[in-house]
Chains A and B, each alone.
Chain A
Amino acid sequence: MEIDPFIFRLSIFILSIFVGYYVVWSVTPSLHTPLMSVTNAISSVIIVGAIIAALSNSQEEVFSFSSVYGFLAIVLAAVNIFGGFLVTQRMLAMYKKKKKDK
């Protein structure tokens, strides 16, 4: 009997939870705020679904009931992607070591 592809995706999902578990425990507590903003940015990869939804229509009719939701989701996810990565970068640029010359 063939294995349902769902099982493969479920395996990826479960293993990723464990990867996430160990990776996040190794994050230093002083970087917990950037951790939240960067997880926020990467979870906006949901834009993949938004793009598929927005481009689901034929050439003649760009905006339909279903594609409009796709376009709205693109805007929301784009705010998050740019905002999330840039604010993380801004924060991380501030973390500096003690200067050696005293």
Chain B
Amino acid sequence: MSANFSAILYLISGVLFILALRGLSSPETSRQGNFFGIVGMIIAITVTFLSVGNFSSGFIYVLIFLAIGGSIGAFIAYKIPMTAMPELVAGFHSLVGLAAVFVAISAFINPEAFNLGTPGNIKLASLIEMSIGAAVGAITFSGSVIAFLKLQGIMSGAPITFKGQHPLNALILISIVILTIYLCSTQSSNLFWILIAISFLIGFLIIIPIGGADMPVVISMLNSYSGWAAAGIGFTLENTALIITGALVGSSGAILSYIMCKGMNRSFFNVILGGFGATEQSTSNQNKEQRPVKSGNADDAAFLMKNASSVIIVPGYGMAVAQAQHALREMVDTLKKNDIKVSYAIHPVAGRMPGHMNVLLAEANVPYDEVFELEEINNDFANADVAFVIGANDVTNPVAKTDPQSPIYGMPVLDVEKCKSVLFVKRSLSPGYAGIDNDLFYKENTLMLFADAKKMTEDITKNL
């Protein structure tokens, strides 16, 4: 196949990937978008086979390895529970990162296969591009592994900080740059291995100080990195499909990181420098005072809801942990039968990844036109009778609007307290991730329901 013709086909596959993302602008077109993505991938792989033109025994092995990876991927995709989506995405990011590292290594050892020169005499531009691809890929890999371990609970979600952390990270980043420069002038393979090794190390060090609830930012950021790594490799291979995809994924992840940071009213650097939860907890413990709290049971909650005409549900990460989304939907079905208007309010950073709550509600068969974003629904709280907060905490804290001293001051929050009454499902009075007390607990119109989210929801349904 001529190089020009395959380049055009790669371009087509790049365009199909753009359409795949474009389809996600609404749920109706999204399935078609995903189909475009699959077609784009098939084109890219087929063109590669044809342009390499090597259908010897190696080709059979490629198909075998493709089938092995494919069946593992398909198996995971069908088995994974929707609540584990953040872990899955973090895990997948690590694979892209590692694949980028492997391709870069292979190109470095055998540059002839990629038309990049000979070993020890690789074209300068290619060498820079593959170093960037390898370094960013390695950072994506080790960072995603840590994110995965934290999300999975294998590693504590608490930020891990130590003295001299930031200077150390800065030192490593500078040495990556210096190593790349040296690598370009010496072409030494030892330097290439060291570059990859310290890139793995920095990926690990960047993510460990970041706490569990900042995971939405971390996952989006790693999403972005995996794109830049792919783009770096795309430049090395002079492949337009990879360059376009890398740029798309890179900017997509960057935008998601920005949206998540805005949802917490924190700057990107503030999140990356980490240690948020750890430092704030100490301040909240000092002014701990006992304030009266009204608590109730499922019966009280059912009574309040039965007499309401509109109910707004505020789900959070706790709902995912308790796997309460199906029980919640059943409760809502019962409410709807009694002609009560129900809608859902989703905060941008609810859950552990962007859009986490939406997927869980969709899984529980909640129609997506009943689910609203913060800006769409925030004015409705004043007119609603009952707000049902299930598994959310900091995102409802009115302190963010009233107390400039508070660490979450300025963060956009759901105006839950404006409802006639608030039902707050929670296991205990303990503060949320930000380590601050939620003023909402002590409001006159708040009824605390201390129980497991799933069990409480089921009990309410029985009492309705």
Contacts and interface: CB of A to CB of B under 8 A. Distances in A.
B386 interface: no
Contacts of A24: 21, 248, 251-252, 255-256
Nearest to A8: B240
A36 to B, nearest CB: 5
A91 to B, nearest CB: 6
B24 A35 contact: yes
Interface in A44-101: 44-59, 62-67, 69-99
B41 A85 contact: yes
Interface stretch (B51-59, B299-307, B420-428, B453-461): B51-59
Contacts of B77: 82-87, 90
B63 to A, nearest CB: 10
A85 to B, nearest CB: 5
A54 B62 contact: yes
Nearest to A53: B106
A11 to B, nearest CB: 10
Contact of A16 (B10, B49, B89, B244): B244
Contacts of B253: 36, 39
Contacts of B166: none
B248 A27 contact: no
Nearest to A63: B61
Contacts of A12: 240, 243-244, 247
Nearest to B240: A12
Interface in A1-51: 5-6, 9, 12-14, 16-21, 23-51
A87 B353 CA distance: 15
Contact of A97 (B61, B99, B368): B368
B92 A84 contact: yes
Contacts of B255: 21, 24-25
Interface residues of A, number: 86
Interface in B212-248: 219-220, 223, 226-227, 229-231, 233-248
Given A20-B248, A55-B54, A71-B65, A48 B92 contact: no
A42 B103 contact: no
Given A33-B354, A34-B30, A94 B238 contact: no
Counting chain B CB atoms within 10 Å of each CB, which of A5, A65, A84 scores highest?
A84
Interface string B1-35: 00000000010011001101110111100110110
Contacts of B193: none
A46 B14 CA distance: 12
Interface in B346-365: 346, 348, 353-356, 358-359, 362-363, 365
A84 B62 CA distance: 20
Nearest to B65: A74
Interface stretch (B152-160, B369-377, B400-408): B369-377
Contact of B355 (A35, A52, A58, A78): A35
A26 B73 contact: no
Interface in B78-92: 78, 80, 82, 85, 88-89, 92
A43 B368 CA distance: 28
A22 to B, nearest CB: 9
A91 B201 CA distance: 34
B99 A50 contact: yes
Contacts of A59: 56-58
Interface stretch (B108-116, B279-287, B436-444): B108-116
B378 to A, nearest CB: 14
A36 B114 CA distance: 30
B93 interface: yes
B102 A76 contact: yes
A43 B69 contact: no
Contact of A62 (B14, B58, B95, B234): B58
Nearest to A75: B69
Contacts of A63: 61
B40 A42 contact: yes
Contacts of B96: 40, 43-44, 46, 76-77, 80
A74 B69 contact: yes
B235 A77 contact: no
B261 interface: no
Contacts of B174: none
B340 to A, nearest CB: 13
B184 interface: no
B354 A29 contact: yes
B195 interface: no
Contacts of A43: 96, 226-227, 230, 245-246, 249
Contacts of A89: 31, 34
A57 B78 CA distance: 36
The 5 A-B pairs of least Cβ separation, nearest first, read A78-B69, A56-B113, A32-B355, A83-B73, A82-B73
12 contacts: A26-B22, A27-B25, A29-B259, A39-B253, A40-B249, A46-B100, A75-B72, A80-B95, A81-B70, A82-B69, A85-B34, A96-B365
